[in-house]
Structures are given as structure tokens and as C-alpha cells.
Amino acid sequence: MTIEEGVELAGLTTLGTGGRARAFARPETEADVETALRWAAERGLEVATIGLGSNLLAADDGVEALVLKLAGSLAAVVVDGDVVRAGGGAANAVALHRARAAGLGGFEFACAIPGTIGGGVWMNGGAYGGEFSRVLRRVRVVSAAGGGWFTPAELGLSYRHSDLRHGQVVVEAELRLEPREPAEIKATVRELNAQRKAAQPTNRRTFGSVFKNPEHELSAGRMLEACGLKGHRIGGAQISPKHANFIENAGGARTADALALMAEARRRAFEQYGVELRHEVELLGGIELAPLR
């Protein structure tokens, strides 16, 4: 495993923004992860693991951390009976494909989530009534304190949340699925993809939902739409004209543009509805949203 310097994170996020990581590595085994964690500890650097960068805004002026992107055996998927063992770096699409081929259903919801297993655990990703916490049997996490298996409850999985912190690397997850005909799985996936395409800007560079849905009769998207924000643009980032809870890279966007749009959206939602929207996207590199008050 090589530890590189100055790798651009813009190429590793779906929005296509972000500066350089102070250090970057692609560990392929758990031993590599341990080596990387030690390397960072010796230098007093934080460790952040990224998946497909589909829920990530990285600072434009760079991230002062060792950034890991899991590869090799840590991105592999193996089916064992009704259990799918997926590396933390495995794309959801690959795990879903393997599950379907083995006649195992229950992970279809993840066709809508363009991330990895590790990112899905971190966020407790979910869509169309399904979410990671419901299919996870246990998760292997490696940190400076060593490696261990954890249940979803032990990781504190709740709506788009886990208690995981940077420096804790999800290296593997076991999904317990149910027997289902591959043709039925395929049909469900086709149907969910069609719904998604009709409602969301699937052909644009985005990072998925910007804000979590508030406890309010309006979803975050409907609320921002009612605030007149569809199509609102700052720099190279714009609120999607198709779905107001998405920010698109409309050309040359920077993370700062997306953050400014988010701050404006929060301000308007608060003024108009008294709601403090909380962001769903993860912020990397010491960046923060401007305070509401």
C-alpha cells in the first residue's frame, strides 16, 4: 500500500468538488488499514475513510487528514448461504448484483443509493422504506483500538445516522437477506429506478439529499420548493430545478458555492417555516455551515 500526497478529492466525490487530501491511501486488507492508522497516529493526523463520495462535501482548500479509500479484499463481495459478506469499500450496486444472482432479496432499496457498504453503514442509508439497519447482521470496524464486530444497535443506527466517527473504518458488513426470485428482484429494481428518475436529477452531478427531512408536514424538498429556491444559483452550484433538496454542479462548482446555497436554504426555511434544517451531507475538512442566528 502506497501513501500518496496531494491527491485531489474533487475526482473522488460525485459533486466533483474538494481540494487535496494531505495524504491518501487505498488499503486492500485489514492489515493495511492497521498500518495506515498507525502511520497517521505517528503524525498526529486524523483518518477519514471515503466510499464513492456520494454524500460528501470536502473543503476546497484541502483536507488535513489521511484519507482512505478501501480496495482489494475490502471492496469484495461474497455470498455465503443467506448472508452477503461485503467489504466496506464494495459498491452497493455490486452487493445487490451478487445478492440477486444468488436469489437473495431485501437489498433492492439500495439500487437508489450510489455509494458503498461502508458509506451506507455510516449514514444508515435508506430509500423506499428500506434501510441498512434492517438488513445488517453485523459490521466489522477497525480503529486505533483494534478490530471488532458490532450490531446495528451497537453502532447507534437511526434515521440517516450512526455513532461512527472518523478513525473508525468499516471494513466489512454482513447482510442477512431473504430468498427471492432473481426476476422479481430485477423487476423491483427497475420500478424503483424509474420512480427515482422521474423525481430526481439522476443525470446531474449531485450528492443526494442535502437536508434530512424535518419533523414537519413538508419534506425538505417541498419546503425549499415553496421557498422559491428551485433553480437558485450561487457560483457554479444550483438548487436542482427538478428537486429542491438536491444541489447540482452546474459547471465549475466549488464546495464553498454549495455551502453558501445550503446556508441560504436554511435561512429561508427558518424564516418562512421556523424550521432548522439539518444537513444530511457529510462535511470533510473542518468546514461548517454558517450559523442560522
Ligand X SMILES: Cc1cc2nc3c(=O)[nH]c(=O)nc-3n(C[C@H](O)[C@H](O)[C@H](O)COP(=O)(O)OP(=O)(O)OC[C@H]3O[C@@H](n4cnc5c(N)ncnc54)[C@H](O)[C@@H]3O)c2cc1C
C-alpha to C-alpha distance for 269 and 57, rounded to whole angstroms: 21
Interface residue with ligand X among 17, 54, 133, 255 (CB under 6 A) is 54
Whether 280 sits among the annotated catalytic residues: the reply is yes
Is residue 86 a contact residue for ligand X (CB under 6 A)? no
Phi, psi of 50 (to 5 degrees): -120, 155
In the bound state with ligand X, the residue whose beta carbon lies nearer, of 126 and 152, is: 126
Alpha-carbon torsion (156, 161, 163, 166), positive or negative = positive
Least distance in angstroms from the C-beta of 84 to ligand X: 16
> Which residue number places its CB atom closest to ligand X?
51
Q: Name the residue type at position 149.
A: W
Three-class DSSP category at 186: helix
Number of residues that bind ligand X (CB under 6 A): 33
Strand residue runs (E) in 81-122: 83-87, 104-105
- Mask 136-175, x = binds ligand X (CB under 6 A)? ----------------------------x----xx-----
- Distance (Å) of CA 107 to CA 51, 77, 113, 190, 226: 18, 14, 11, 14, 33
Is residue 120 a contact residue for ligand X (CB under 6 A)? yes
Q: In which element (H, E) is residue 114 found? A: none
- Mask 13-52, x = binds ligand X (CB under 6 A)? -x---------------------------------xxxxx
Least distance in angstroms from the C-beta of 123 to ligand X: 4
Binders in 93-112 for ligand X, by CB under 6 A:
112
- Range 267-274, long-range pairs (CB < 8 A, 24+ positions): 267/292, 268/224, 268/227, 268/228, 268/229, 269/214, 269/220, 269/223, 269/224, 269/227, 272/223, 272/226, 272/227, 273/216, 273/218, 273/223
Interface residue with ligand X among 123, 210, 239, 258 (CB under 6 A) is 123
Chain centroid to CA 32: 23
Interface residue with ligand X among 122, 253, 262, 285 (CB under 6 A) is 122
Interface residue with ligand X among 208, 224, 259, 262 (CB under 6 A) is 208
Is residue 130 a contact residue for ligand X (CB under 6 A)? no
- Mask 224-263, x = binds ligand X (CB under 6 A)? ----------------------------------------
C-alpha to C-alpha distance for 59 and 240, rounded to whole angstroms: 22
DSSP β-ladder status, 233-234 and 282-284 = unpaired
Whether 196 sits among the annotated catalytic residues: the reply is no
Interface residue with ligand X among 24, 107, 150, 207 (CB under 6 A) is 207
What grid cell was written down for 286? 473542518
Least distance in angstroms from the C-beta of 47 to ligand X: 9
Q: Hey, which residues are catalytic here? A: 160, 209, 280
Which residues of this protein are in contact with ligand X, per CB under 6 A? 14, 48-56, 70, 88, 112-116, 118-120, 122-123, 125-127, 164, 169-170, 202, 206-208, 282
